[in-house]
Structure 1
Amino acid sequence: MCIHSDDFKAYAELCYKEFGDRVKLWTTLNEPYGLSFHGYAIGGHAPGRCSSWYDSTCLGGDSAKEPYLVTHNLLLAHAAAVKLYKEEFQVL
């Protein structure tokens, strides 16, 4: 997965600035488990990656490593977006 927490933070900042006056409740990532497990461990969802020992029709990948790397990066991106919101956009 090619998501960098700084890129996601910049995207979140744009959303906060453009829509913050109309949105009361924010969520950063929708179903991160589905993305990491189903996309990178068993290959059932996009991008369809998994190990050949799991499913010979997968598009490549490593079911023992990639889901953890993806989850790590998703957590970093989520944390960056939440920190930005709390420090610069949250109205108490």
Structure 2
Amino acid sequence: MPGPSILRLATEVAAVGELGAFTMSAPLVKRWLPRGDRPVFVMPGFLAGDGSTRPLRRTLDRLGHTTYGWDLGRNLGPTPEILDGIVDRIDEL
């Protein structure tokens, strides 16, 4: 089995770097983020899942917001199942 392509490997390395940058900058960024008690529904980027939004949700939770992941697995784009799932999830909240 061949290893991952250079592009895929670079994408994975970049994702680790972005997570590190977010983690390191969080104390500074928190000063400028709005505080509140609003519910926040967080959707992952294309081909990502709720795990990728966990750092953002934790930061917002610490600022007083109530966050919700989308609970629909991996974001495969606007398929009928995903669109119906988003509507159902928002209705639950």
TM-score (norm 2): 0.30
TM-score (norm 1): 0.31
Higher strand share: 2
The higher-RCO structure (CA 8 Å, 6+ apart) is: 1
